[in-house]
Amino acid sequence: MRRMILAIVATLALATALVAPVSAKTFGLLYAEDETFRTFGNPARVDPGTGTDPIYTFENSTNPDQLSVARYAPGEGSHGGRWAVHHVTWTTGDPSTLITGFDALMAHVALDEVSIVRDEAADFRCPILPNP
């Protein structure tokens, strides 16, 4: 009887250890259209230069709330989660400025406060979801 209880406990412990990592989801965050969205923590590689949806990362932002900015939110534009990566660097503007949307980013580009460089080698696929 004791062996049977130990076997059941061991089986349950093993099952928990195997299932927990699979069922756990890690979410990241990004901005699109001035809203926060969740990303799955499982980006997949795509061939360099094949991303279709612009996403902008900030290289030297000093704002702790600055996240990447996607050009399109789910259901808008060409959003499909196949990201064309661009890196944004503050040049003359205030790097503590929080940018949460593409239009605001383009306003800073027009003022020559930031520069944007395309990084085809960094393209990836990763879905985004509304943030509840």
Each residue of 43-77: pLDDT tens digit? 677 899 999 899 999 999 999 999 999 998 877 66
Domain boundaries in the chain?
25-130
Average pLDDT over residues 33-37: 92
pLDDT at 103 over 80: yes
Say if residues 53 and 85 touch (Cβ distance below 8 Å): no
Average pLDDT over residues 3-11: 40
> Average model confidence (pLDDT) for the chain?
81
- Chain segment 81-96, per-residue pLDDT in tens: 789 999 999 999 899 9
Nearest-5° Cα angle at 78, 74 to 79: 30
- Chain segment 115-124, per-residue pLDDT in tens: 999 999 999 8
Strand, helix or coil at 61?
A: coil
- Determine the pLDDT at residue 55: 95
pLDDT at 104 over 70: yes
Say if residues 89 and 117 touch (Cβ distance below 8 Å): yes
Average pLDDT over residues 21-41: 76
Q: Which helix or strand (DSSP H or E) is residue 32 part of?
A: strand 27-32
Torsions phi, psi of 94, nearest 5?
-85, 110
- Determine the pLDDT at residue 15: 41
Q: Of 65, 61, 53, which Cα lies nearest the Cα of 95? A: 61
